[in-house]
Amino acid sequence: MKKLYGIILAVVIIIIIGGAAWLLNSGQKDTLIVSTTTSFYETGLLDVLDAKFEAKYPNINITFISQGTGLAIKNAQDGDADMILVHDPVRELAFLNEGYGVNRKIIAYNFFVIVGPENDPAGVKGLSPVDALLKIEEAGQAGTAIWVSRGDDSGTHAMEKRLWIAGEKDSTEIRNEEWYWERGSGMTATLAMANEKQGYTICDMGSYLKNYVSGAIDLNIMVEAGKETLNVYAAIACDPQNPNLAHSKFDHSMKFINFLVSDEVQEILSDFGVEDYGQPLFNPAVNLLKENTDPTTADWIKDFAYFDGTECPPGKRYQHESLSFLKIDNISELIN
């Protein structure tokens, strides 16, 4: 009998130890590092997405590294992130083609606007973006206007430089002129400097509304949203086939990308900011592209942010069975 009790006691102890070990291990979390742009962070959207995702996947803890798109991409290239969430198609394509990323999905869009002081010393209100910059340059050289640039190699900075190029100007030259100021930081800090100097700047609509409605700035929109100032956000997983990125948490990245394109998150995007600002800070892009609900905007996105007719080149898809990618020639056709 004593022997039987001893066996029973041993079994109970094993069960207790095993249960304790399970509880201990179940409390451990993997960390998913997402290198992303400042506009998502500064508007508060990432806090919402973080809470929703971690509720869905309690074993994954997301860490967002927020900085300009150029640095966000470099972070991932250096192996310090598992995926990127950015807004610069030119550099996104390079990230893919150079073997750093796979499975690019467009998730959202908004627009850049040019903002400035109410008295509009350069007289740019209502002009096209390029014409507005040229007028600001002219007024700046005359000593009556100031331009404040992000100057941080961000997606916003890249858009500014594209507009200068469209106006046949070299931003590397004009940046040395007295009327041209560089903040070298995020959008909120850049808007604060423009507001302090009563100058002009370019910013995404979400960041503008966040700062304007809160009373942090009193700058007005001078150049409205349009095709030339389209701003498209995309998510890309780091390529685990790259030996330098083999340690990246590809499976977790794919979970997050699928989460971003889900109906749940696309609905969050359509509502985020409406109550406080009267409009969403970021517009959902997935169903718009899939169902062509707004043909004009869909065409703008395809012209600006598709590569060879698709959001992700076929050669840059890896274990993507959970995702579908759209192409231009038949917007409702999914290619796998």
- Name which of 10-19, 145-154, 184-193, 310-319 the model is least confident about: 10-19
Question: Strand pairing of 30-36 and 60-66?
Answer: parallel
Asked if 297 contacts 284 with a C-beta cutoff of 8 angstroms, the reply is no
CATH code of the domain in which 288 resides:
3.40.190.10
Q: Is the pLDDT of residue 253 over 50?
A: yes
Regarding predicted confidence, which is higher, 89 or 329?
Answer: 89
Are 137 and 275 found together in one domain? no
Query: Please, is 87 exposed, middle or buried when counting C-beta atoms within 10 Å of its C-beta (0-12, 13-18, 19+)?
Result: buried
pLDDT on residue 329: 61
Tell the residue number behind the tokens 């083609």, with chain if given. Answer: 97
Same domain, 132 and 165: yes
> Do 138 and 235 fall into the same domain?
no
Residues 7-60: tens digit of each pLDDT: 454 444 444 444 444 433 445 789 999 999 888 888 899 999 999 999 999 999
Average pLDDT over residues 328-332: 55
Per the model's pLDDT, the better-predicted residue between 330 and 193 turns out to be 193
Decide: helix, strand or coil at residue 334: strand
Same domain flag for 51 and 156: no
**Is residue 225 predicted with pLDDT exceeding 90?**
no
Please check whether residue 12 lies inside any domain of the structure: no
Q: Examine the fold and report which residue of 170, 200, 228 is the final residue of a domain before the chain moves on.
A: 228
Give the per-residue pLDDT at 27.
58
What is the reported pLDDT for 188?
92
313 and 258 assigned to the same domain: yes
Residue 333 has pLDDT above 90, yes or no: no
Shared domain for 165 and 92, answered yes or no, is no
325: tokens are 């990618």
Residues 203 and 250 placed together within one structural domain of the fold: no
Let me know if residue 88 belongs to a domain: yes
Q: How far apart (Å, rounded) are the C-alpha atoms in residues 306 and 19?
A: 51
Instruction: Decide if 22 is inside a domain.
Output: no
Domain membership of residue 162 as a residue range: 112-228
pLDDT tens digits for range 167-194: 999 888 899 999 999 998 889 999 999 9
One domain, residues 154 and 96: no
Q: Comparing 75 with 4, which gets the higher pLDDT?
A: 75
Whether residues 118 and 224 share a domain: the answer is: yes
Answer whether residue 25 is part of any domain: no
What is the predicted pLDDT for the residue at 96? Answer: 98
Q: Tell me: do 69 and 103 sit in the same domain.
A: yes
* Domain-located, residue 261: yes
Give the domain-ending residue among 178, 209, 228. Answer: 228
284 plus 325 within the same structural domain: yes
156 in a structural domain: yes
Radius of gyration of the chain (CA): 24
Task: Examine residue 182 and state whether it is found in any structural domain, yes or no.
Answer: yes
Asked if pLDDT for residue 336 goes beyond 60, the answer is no
Confirm whether 23 is domain-assigned.
no
Count of domains in the chain? 2
Scored b (16 or more CB within 10 A) or e, 134-170 reads bbbbebbeeeebbbbbbbbbbbbbbbbbbbbeebebe
Of 228, 252, 286, the domain-final residue: 228
- Residue 148's closest CA among 109, 188, 110? 188
